[in-house]
Amino acid sequence: MIEEVLRKIGLTEYETKIYIALLDLGKATSGEILQKANLNTGKIYDILGSLKNKGFISEIIESGVRKFSPANPQQIFNYLDEKKEDIQKQEQTLNKIIPDILKKINSTKESQKVEVFYGFNGLKTAHQKEIDKYSSKETLRVLGIMGREKYPKLIYNFYIDNLYSKRISSKVKIKKILNKDAKKYRKDHEKEAQIKYFPYISPVAIVTINDLTIIDIITENPIIITIESKEVTESFIQQFELLWKLSK
């Protein structure tokens, strides 16, 4: 019980053991304290000095021999009062620097915007974000396109007639990983695109360009998620490039 309380109020493990040993001994030399505490440490005087500074023990000289004894337990309350004062000072200091810390966090924290769109009009709005990123310096990566028969006709025609033509005119670099069943529709895709095929079918397509990721969930009523974040987009690009190496 005593050991547990002493540790909670801030004494170290060795300080606690030595103080309890000294309580049992009443008055003792450093060697006697070590023996009673069943410890073997060359830092005994450092530990005793720390306990003295905290007011837990006192030191006396008897016949030229240094001995130590427990101080009045009231000193423990004085020690706790000092700790309270230190904590209050630390809180005051922390309150002063919190605004500066928050400024630094906000200045380095990447802004991230996530939006969800629904239906065909939502799909067009979402992919306008993609179109706005097109340039000859960018690389567009598309993962997960299925064969023509898997798409609602309205959506497939939007890709062919709207997106693909704008990609070609912008000279954006294009890399696509398509489902192997889409291989027979190669002519539907941009002539300039690098295309590989992977043996899986999914109604989800992932598009990345610059700091933009678009996730298309293609059904009769599509759901489109756009994420504007350099960090998130970079993670999707890494996944794409890994699959690119595995695709044929």
Over residues 94-105, the pLDDT tens digits come to 788 778 777 766
pLDDT at position 246 is: 86
Res 148: pLDDT: 66
Instruction: Please report the pLDDT score of residue 109 as a whole number.
Output: 57
CATH fold of 113-246, please? Endonuclease; Chain A (3.30.870)
pLDDT band at 55 (very low <50, low <70, confident <90, very high): confident
Mean pLDDT value across residues 164-189: 82
Strand partners, 142: 176, 207
| Model pLDDT, residue 195 | 87
Q: What is the CATH number of domain 2-71?
A: 1.10.10.10
pLDDT of residue 197: 84
* Higher per-residue confidence, 16 vs 101: 16
Residue 34 CA to residue 21 CA, distance in Å, equals 8
pLDDT band (50, 70, 90) for residue 80: confident
Most confident of 1-10, 105-114, 214-223: 214-223
Please identify which residue in the block is written with the tokens 């919190």: 98
**SS3 state of residue 101:** helix
**pLDDT reading at 204 higher than 70:** yes
Selection from 44-53, 73-82, 186-195 with the highest mean pLDDT:
44-53
pLDDT at res. 238 = 94
Q: What is the pLDDT of residue 117?
A: 94
Average pLDDT over residues 54-72: 87
Domains 2-71 and 113-246 equal at CATH topology level: no
Name the nearest CA neighbour of 119 among 223, 24, 210, 9.
Answer: 223
Task: Kindly report, residue by residue over 88-137, the tens digit of the pLDDT.
Answer: 887 887 788 778 777 766 665 556 788 999 998 999 999 999 999 999 99
pLDDT at 150 over 80: no
Q: How far apart are CA 214 and CA 122, in angstroms?
A: 12
Distance CA 122, CA 91 (A): 50
Residue 207: per-residue pLDDT: 93
Q: Taking the domains of the chain in order of start, what are their residue ranges?
A: 2-71, 113-246
Cα of 87 vs its chain's centroid, Å: 29
Q: Supply the DSSP symbol for 28.
A: B
Lowest mean pLDDT among 18-32, 66-80, 175-189: 175-189
